[in-house]
């Protein structure tokens, strides 16, 4: 007989591909927000608050965490030199006549000044806190894991093969089911449309293989060929 070789359906490929791409896109977006986007938005909001143009937003001091900012705000006493803060973080992100600001990833430290001496130190959380950013990163990494699984699934879908030849029916890398072992083709008890059950006997034991026309593109042709060779009734015609 002329062998029938079938891959999977275009619909299955498209659905799997779309899911894989969608997961990967969202993973990138979440990681971008967690590492770059949220900090950039915080800096722009900070600049706007001080009346600066958005493109003049200063870079964040990466080492100025919320914990460190609050600790320093509590430690700096009224009358201390601004240089004490500079020892930790260098030059202020923004210096005004009466205040100095240190911008961190999740907020900013404001030092109210009189000359070069601190009058008051306060920490303010930004719109996107460090916890928000961490959550975005966690979600992004979780989606990356899902994305890797989706990529493997896509590879599995693309490698789907069913071959009907004189040796019988081979699905994927399994051993072929010879024609002489095939005993029945039937619809499943669930009545699911497009699915066929192939019943066979091998070494005195019976087995059932479920064949789905969503998974095997040429399943109707394969079923018709088996029925013709074995003299079985075609479930697709019932």
Per-residue model confidence as pLDDT tens for the chain (238 residues): 789 999 999 999 999 999 999 999 999 999 999 999 999 999 999 999 988 887 788 888 888 899 988 988 888 877 777 777 777 778 888 988 899 899 999 999 999 988 888 888 899 999 999 999 999 999 999 999 999 999 999 999 999 999 999 999 999 888 899 999 999 999 988 878 889 999 999 887 889 999 999 999 999 999 999 999 989 889 988 7
Q: Where are the domains of the chain?
A: 1-160, 164-237
Please tell me the predicted confidence (pLDDT) of residue 52.
86
Please report the beta strands in 11-104, taking only residues with DSSP state E, as ranges in sequence order.
Answer: 94-96, 99-104
Cβ contact 101:61 at 8 Å: no
At 179 the pLDDT is 93
Count the neighbouring beta carbons within 10 Å of the beta carbon of residue 121.
22
Residue 197 is predicted with a pLDDT of 93
Residues 6+ apart with CB under 8 A from 123: 66, 69, 70, 72, 73, 107, 108, 109, 110
Q: Please give the pLDDT value at position 124.
A: 93
> 162 with 222: CB under 8 angstroms?
yes
- pLDDT given at position 45: 92
Beta strands (DSSP E) in 30-84 are none
Residue 73 pLDDT: 86
Q: Which pLDDT score, from 0 to 100, does residue 20 have?
A: 96
Cα-based distances in Å from 67 to 44, 102, 129: 22, 14, 12
CA trace torsion 113, 114, 118, 122 (10° rounding):
-30
State the Cα–Cα distance between residues 111 and 117, nearest whole angstrom: 9
């Amino acid at each position: 007989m002329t062998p029938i070789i079938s891959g999977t359906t275009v619909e299955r490929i498209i659905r799997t591909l779309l899911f894989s791409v969608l997961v990967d896109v969202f993973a990138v977006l979440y990681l971008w927000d967690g590492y770059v986007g949220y900090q950039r938005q915080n800096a722009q909001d900070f600049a706007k608050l001080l009346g600066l143009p958005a493109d003049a937003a200063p870079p964040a001091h990466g080492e100025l965490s919320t914990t460190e900012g609050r600790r320093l705000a509590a430690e700096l006493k009224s009358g201390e030199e601004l240089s004490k803060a500079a020892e930790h973080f260098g030059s202020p992100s923004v210096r005004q006549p009466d205040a100095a600001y240190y911008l961190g990833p999740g907020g900013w430290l404001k030092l109210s000044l009189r000359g070069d001496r601190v009058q008051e130190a306060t920490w303010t959380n930004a719109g996107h806190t460090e916890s928000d950013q961490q959550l975005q990163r966690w979600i992004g990494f979780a989606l990356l894991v899902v994305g890797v699984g989706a990529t493997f699934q896509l590879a599995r879908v693309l490698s789907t093969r069913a071959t009907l030849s004189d040796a019988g029916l081979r699905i994927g890398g399994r051993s072929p089911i010879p024609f002489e072992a095939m005993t029945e083709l039937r619809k499943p008890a669930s009545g699911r449309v497009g699915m066929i059950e192939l019943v066979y006997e091998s070494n005195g034991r019976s087995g059932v293989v479920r064949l789905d026309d969503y998974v095997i593109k040429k399943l109707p042709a394969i079923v018709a060929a088996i029925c013709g060779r074995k003299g079985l009734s075609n479930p697709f015609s019932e």
